[in-house]
Structure 1
Amino acid sequence: MISNRTAESAQAEVASKGRRVEEQIVARATSDGANVKLLRVFGGQGPERFDPFLMLDEFGSETADDYIGGFPPHPHRGFQTVTYMLQGKMEHRDHMGNVGLLNDGAVQWMNAGSGIIHSEMPKQTEGKMRGFQIWLNLLSGKKMSPAYYKDIQADLIPEYLLEGVYVKAIAGEMELLGSTVKGYFSVEDTDAQFMDIHLQPGFELSVPVSSGYTALVYTYDGEVTLTDKYVPAKAQTLSRLVDGDNVLVSNASDAVARVVVLAGKPLREPIVQHGPFVMNSVEEINQAIADYNAGTLAES
């Protein structure tokens, strides 16, 4: 049953300033890297409506042929990547000599900045590999910042057990059910929030999102409903919510539902993307391509 205290407090907030579902997207099957099969949740066309986020991929398979090719060396410039492993092992290597291994529950935060060349290769030949990669935009004045990489193992990522709710707090800070939930990472400029939230059957949760911030909910296991209208959001569905100061997420099913919540302050700057480069103008993209071809994009 829905917790009365949880439901009543959540509904009270939503009644006055809850967000509404503006758009829903069903993740589509595609491949990337060396034919790695994945789900592209969003990315590419019309990125401004997800600002400051640029892309979200879900990857996951129990068949090694779907992921074993990995992502051989490739360049990036102008944004950050966040990789969150639910299950599996992935090795990172880059031109700066960094080597890191992502295990179950670990997070990699990489600033491509002015340029990085890296690879992401599976370190397993069987078993399930599942996780997410997010591309987070950089302010124009920081697109040419020095590249860096951080590999954070699962036991360092804050976890919270609240009433009917489990939260793995990767980035940002928010108040949930009277508790301050603080992620491992604090993000400048965009104040990005990245939470992995599991709802027990019959529970509701009001997730605060500052007015004017982008708010995205991706259901990856089970099914939830959103807002006081109880709009259904099935597995592999992204919901973009607008207006108001919070998002009501409800689980009326008989199984645990798991969602990723992304929120952040839009940069409101031009977005020009060409493959692995995201800049503010076509001229900057052309320069990135020229630098890569000349071998100067990623200079230590």
Structure 2
Amino acid sequence: MSIRPILEQRPASPTMEGAGVKLHRAFGFHDPSELDPFLLFDDFRNERPEDFEAGFPWHPHRGIETITYVLEGTVAHGDSLGNVGTLGAGDVQWMTAGSGILHQEMPKGNAKGQMHGFQLWGNLPASQKMTAPRYQDVQAKDIPEVIDDDGTRVRVIVGDFWGKRGPVDGIAADPQYLDVSVPPGVKKTFRIDTYRRAFAYVFAGQGAFVDAAPPQGILLEKEVAGEELHIRDMSGDRTLIRFGTGDEITVQAGPEGVRFLLISGAPIEEPVAWHGPIVMNTREELNQAFRDLRNGTFIKPQH
């Protein structure tokens, strides 16, 4: 077994999207090879309705998949295919935009006015860029949760983990998407397929991730449960941890425990031409997508 090295640990950056939704972006719109097959990750979390209720009005997507995971509040959605629905707390929607879709996402707070969710963008390979759009809406009750003897809890949204399989399937990047909660003071190791790119996103509590190859000057050596570990400083709320190659990661939970998303996927390793909500392989394909938007042929007939 080999612990994955930590390539980078950084806070998510405040930004604004849609019609004025305040959120934090962990990555996106920079180097698309960094976490290939994933392009963008947003944490939309607010206590004030005026910071999110204008939502994400009608906008196009082509060539990608969007994964929306709601923790608090609701997100109402509608699209150009006539689909409508509402995601509630714990629900997931995996949308394959494929050849093109127009949709809107309108968040609403819970009884206290709070809204919290995540959106991840996954790239599509060239062979699937123009596939028919589709949705997978999954209710919270249908997402399996496994609990280990030490109290560690994992919601398995996509992929196989600890004998359970997530309900979302048929995704191009063959990803694993886990919502992990580790109790206070517990050290826990998680297996990840060696050939996947992987990242963790801490959104509650604190945890220190073990680094396989500690560079000078930025690591601490601490004794935990009788072992000498090279660990990063504690990662807290809204922290991205990007891992290198290996087949497992280890986290030491802080005094309040730690909750994070652990996401991995098989890299596509193809050229990326990206502008706004449209991601293709070449500049000409990108230009064609915008010509289609202008001349009304963006939405392709479904057979």
Question: TM-score scaled by structure 1?
Answer: 0.90
Q: 1:186 maps to what in 2?
A: 169
How has the CA–CA distance of structure 1 residues 146 and 286 changed in structure 2, closer, same or farther, with 3 Å as cutoff? Answer: same
Structure 1 residue 77 displacement after superposition: 0.2
Q: 1:292 maps to what in 2?
A: 293
Matches within 5 A, 1:246-261: 246-251=248-253, 253-261=254-262
Q: 2:217 maps to what in 1?
A: none
Aligned partners of 2:170, 2:16: CA distance in 1, in Å? Answer: 29
Count the aligned residue pairs: 280
How has the CA–CA distance of structure 1 residues 122 and 234 changed in structure 2, closer, same or farther, with 3 Å as cutoff? Answer: closer
Identity of aligned residues (%): 40
Q: Is the 8 A contact 2:108 2:115 kept in 1?
A: no
Aligned partners of 2:207, 2:176: CA distance in 1, in Å? Answer: 20
Aligned partners of 2:121, 2:267: CA distance in 1, in Å? Answer: 14
Q: 1:198 maps to what in 2?
A: 181
1:211 to 187, 191, 194: 194
Which residue identity is paired with 2:118? Answer: F
Aligned partners of 1:188, 1:289: CA distance in 2, in Å? Answer: 25
Q: 1:172 maps to what in 2?
A: 159
How has the CA–CA distance of structure 1 residues 74 and 188 changed in structure 2, closer, same or farther, with 3 Å as cutoff? Answer: closer
Structure 1 residue 182 displacement after superposition: 2.0
Which residue identity is paired with 2:158? Answer: A
Which secondary structure does the structure 1 equivalent of 2:93 belong to? strand
Partner deviation per Cα, 1:236-275 (whole Å, 9 max, x = no partner): 1101111221111220x22131100011110111111100
Aligned partners of 1:75, 1:95: CA distance in 2, in Å? Answer: 9
How has the CA–CA distance of structure 1 residues 77 and 199 changed in structure 2, closer, same or farther, with 3 Å as cutoff? Answer: same
Structure 1 residue 294 displacement after superposition: 1.1
Partner deviation per Cα, 1:208-229 (whole Å, 9 max, x = no partner): 1111310101111111111241
Aligned partners of 1:167, 1:105: CA distance in 2, in Å? Answer: 13
Aligned partners of 1:269, 1:260: CA distance in 2, in Å? Answer: 26
Which residue identity is paired with 1:242? Answer: G
* Superposition RMSD in Å: 1.4
1:101 to 86, 94, 97: 86
Aligned partners of 1:161, 1:37: CA distance in 2, in Å? Answer: 34
Partner deviation per Cα, 1:191-216 (whole Å, 9 max, x = no partner): 20100001100112211111131010
More helix as a share of residues: 1
Structure 1 residue 189 displacement after superposition: 4.0
Q: 2:214 maps to what in 1?
A: none
Higher mean displacement: 181-190 or 165-174: 181-190
2:11 to 26, 30, 36: 26
Q: Is the 8 A contact 2:70 2:87 kept in 1?
A: yes
Q: 1:50 maps to what in 2?
A: 35
How has the CA–CA distance of structure 1 residues 291 and 210 changed in structure 2, closer, same or farther, with 3 Å as cutoff? Answer: same
Q: 1:71 maps to what in 2?
A: 56
2:244 to 242, 245, 253: 242
Q: Is the 8 A contact 1:172 1:187 kept in 2?
A: no
Which residue identity is paired with 1:131? Answer: G
Which secondary structure does the structure 1 equivalent of 2:285 belong to? helix
Higher mean displacement: 115-124 or 193-202: 115-124
Q: Is the 8 A contact 1:186 1:192 kept in 2?
A: no
Aligned partners of 2:243, 2:178: CA distance in 1, in Å? Answer: 16
Question: TM-score scaled by structure 2?
Answer: 0.89
**Structure 1 unpaired stretches of 5+:** 1-15
**Structure 2 unpaired stretches of 5+:** 211-228
Q: 2:124 maps to what in 1?
A: 138
Which secondary structure does the structure 1 equivalent of 2:127 belong to? helix
Q: 1:13 maps to what in 2?
A: none
